[in-house]
Homo-oligomer: A and B are copies of this chain.
Amino acid sequence: MSNKETVFFNNAPKILGTGAVVGKRESEGPLAEYFDELIPDGRYGERTWEQAESKFHNAAFGYALEMSQLKSADIGCVLSGDLLNQCVASSFAWRDANLPFIGLYGACSTFAEGLALGSVLVNSGAFDTAAVSVSSHFCTAERQYRNPLAYGGQRPPTAQRTVTGAGCAIIGKNGNGKPFAKCATFGSVVDSGISDANNMGAAMAPAAYETLKKHFENTNTKPQDFDLIATGDLGEVGRKILIDLLSRDGINLGERYIDCGCEMFDIHRQDMHAGASGCACLATVFSGYIMEGLINGRWKRVLIAGTGSLQSPLTVQQKETIPGICHAVEIGV
């Protein structure tokens, strides 16, 4: 059943297990204890950063399987994506798995997009289980989107740091007592005319505003109905814009609102400018921190909103503005 942009899951697809594996800076941040494994080596023992990024998928998947008490062969399909050109971190990660592979590109919204689509697949019975696996890596992203690392370029205060790591969630039809997806709102592409590629929070905030507003309308809810509302990676700048945009409509997110991009690092101590970003930001914060809170009863009703900015270096060079997107998934327990 759908209400415009929002799809409701009558069969309550369960989140059977999650895995979150992160890099060095993430393991020095305040959420370190919630992640399954901390990998200080940016190359993860591999020859290239790209191979390391693929390995983060495999590691997170392993922890998600363990928590789900499943084997790889039990998984119906994999929904996966990342930020690299042609999404190679994902496709290379899964080339030995022999599992149906559904490649996604939603920029940093990919984890929420995958969770929403995976919930549709399991809810409808298309597959009994689906794994959602999403990665990013500071070193692969920085040289692809901005400058070679060795260049040592300075970054403006609005810049965010790409999370190194991967998060994986396994969705299944069975699993009494596990957190489950209630509904999801698929967002539209929203372009508010931002053209500064070092201010992605501002580019994404209007998309988050549109999607959250639609979600509240379509589900007849208000922020107070949720124990936790988490956007993906708006950072300090985008977070404030989102709060401001919603408050103009009389919608106050309040204390229950966090942005994963503001939670990942101790921004001042770690000198992280406007915070964290990247596909893996929401993926790892959800798979580590939020999932733990759902299981341990800290939160009973959670709304996550994955935010993505859809530019490429080429579109920035061509003086295009930066469209954003946001997909939201509501999870209960």
Interface residues of A (CB under 8 A from B): 1-2, 5, 7, 47-48, 50, 76-77, 81, 83-88, 91-92, 94-107, 113, 117, 120-121, 123-128, 144, 185-191, 310-315, 318, 320, 323, 325
Contacts and interface: CB of A to CB of B under 8 A. Distances in A.
A59 to B, nearest CB: 18
Given A102-B186, A310-B91, A2 B126 contact: yes
A52 B124 CA distance: 37
29 contacts: A2-B76, A5-B77, A48-B318, A50-B315, A85-B85, A87-B105, A87-B310, A88-B311, A88-B312, A92-B310, A94-B189, A95-B191, A95-B323, A96-B191, A97-B188, A97-B189, A98-B188, A99-B188, A100-B187, A101-B325, A102-B104, A102-B113, A103-B104, A103-B106, A103-B113, A104-B104, A105-B105, A120-B120, A144-B314
Contact of A5 (B100, B313, B323): B100
Contacts of A323: 91-92, 95
B124 A92 contact: no
Contacts of A91: 189, 310, 323, 325
Contacts of A104: 102-105
Contact of A123 (B85, B124, B128, B320): B124
Contacts of A186: 77, 100-102
A323 B323 CA distance: 30
Contacts of A107: 86, 103
Contacts of A7: 126-127
